Amino acid sequence: MSAPLYEVRNVSKKYGSVVALDGADFQINAGEIVGLVGDNGAGKSTLVKILSGAHKPTSGEIFLDGVSQGWDSPRDAIEAGVETLYQDSGLAPHLTVSANVFLGREKYVAGPFGKLGFLDNKAMHKEAHKDLERVGIAVPESNRSVSQLSGGQRQAVAIGRAVSWASKVIILDEPTNHLGARQAGEVLQVMKAARAKGLGVVFISHTLPHVLDVSDRIVVLRLGKIVANAPTSEFDAEKLLGTITGLNTL
């Protein structure tokens, strides 16, 4: 078997005396959706932040395409093709939809003004609209400020942004939170489309039916440790819940 697309080995993360993550091994392959589940405080978001380069692990190793990586900042991971949707919305509410979609990778006007950093807002509006549409998300007008959008619309923009930029891995931390049933269904479709494109998808959710529906494999975290890692076919709702709470082990 070849190396997994993206992998962490034996990573731990301590916040002061709190051990949020304790020697976790985690892999994601191309064209695969991995469901990452666990109780509140289990360490899911911490693992996400390590995968995305937002936090440095206290110990452990990270490999992308079999190459050892030490992300110094989210920028490094982004440039390597790893996109992340954070649980606590990663959008800037005072900026427009398109400014958010293009945040950190702005388009510039041609010529010397572009060299000085002058922005091509028109091109960004247009392209942001197209990108969001292509992802299959109901697009709010891309020149409105994000603070004027509903929670569901914001989430849609954040997901669209992540999916349209990801080239290898996309990590979605509770993307269906605050969404209605129909919108949540859209998000699940978006994930399947990303998988079909060959991306590795990490899906974190508390809604177990969603996880059982779209995931190829499920990884369970409890108190900072990986306690289960198996194909979805080996779980049903009851067994999964038992594994999360610690009432039964796989």
Partner 1 sequence: MNQVGTDAKSLKQVRMLFGNQQFLLLLVWFAMVAFFTAFNSIFFSMAVFGNILLDWAPVVLIALGQTFVIISGGIDLSVGSTVGLSGVVAAFQMQHMMTNGDNQWLAIAVGTLVAALVGIAVGLVNGFLITKTKVVPFIATLVTMGAAAGLAIVYSGGAPVGGGPDKAIELSVPWFGPFSTPGLIVVGIVIICGLFLHLARFGRYTYAIGSNEFAARTAGINVNRHYLKVYALSGLLAGLAGMFFYCRLGSGAPTSGYGGELDAIAAVVIGGAALTGGIGRISGTVLGALILTTTTSGLIIIGVAPDWKQVVVAILIAAAVLLQGNKNGSRGGSK
Ligand X SMILES: Nc1ncnc2c1ncn2[C@@H]1O[C@H](COP(=O)(O)OP(=O)(O)O)[C@@H](O)[C@H]1O
Q: How far is the CB of 148 from partner 1 (least distance, A)?
A: 7
Choose between 131 and 173: whose C-beta lies nearer to ligand X.
Answer: 173
d(CA 145, CA 175): 21
d(CA 230, CA 86): 25
The helix/strand/coil state of 245 is: helix
CA distances from 221 to 17, 111, 199, 203, 241 (A): 19, 51, 23, 13, 12
Q: How far is the CB of 156 from partner 1 (least distance, A)?
A: 15
Binding site for partner 1 (CB under 8 A): 52, 54, 73-75, 78-79, 84, 86, 88-95, 99-100, 103-106, 108, 116-119, 147-148, 150
Size of the site for ligand X (CB under 6 A): 11
Stretch that binds Mg ion, among 43-51, 57-65, 160-168, 230-238 (CB under 5 A): 43-51
Stretch that binds ligand X, among 15-23, 124-132, 146-154, 211-219 (CB under 6 A): 15-23
d(CA 196, CA 199): 7
Q: Which two tokens stand for residue 109?
A: 């006007």
Choose between 132 and 158: whose C-beta lies nearer to ligand X.
Answer: 158
User: Among residue numbers 135 through 164, which ones bind ligand X (CB under 6 A)?
Assistant: none
d(CA 184, CA 178): 9
Chain center to CA of 10: 21
41 binds, among Mg ion, partner 1, ligand X, none (CB under 5 to 8 A by kind): ligand X
Q: How far is the CB of 89 from Mg ion (least distance, A)?
A: 13
Choose between 94 and 134: whose C-beta lies nearer to partner 1.
Answer: 94
Q: Which two tokens stand for residue 51?
A: 């995968």
* Terminal Cα-to-Cα distance of the chain (whole angstroms): 24
Size of the site for Mg ion (CB under 5 A): 3
38 binds, among partner 1, ligand X, Mg ion, none (CB under 5 to 8 A by kind): ligand X
User: Among residue numbers 31 through 90, which ones bind ligand X (CB under 6 A)?
Assistant: 38, 40-46
CA distances from 195 to 150, 164, 187 (A): 27, 13, 13
Should residue 45 be labelled a site residue for Mg ion when binding is judged by CB under 5 A? yes
Q: Which two tokens stand for residue 28?
A: 């994601």
Spatial contact of 199 and 166, defined as CB atoms under 8 Å apart: yes
Q: How far is the CB of 35 from ligand X (least distance, A)?
A: 13
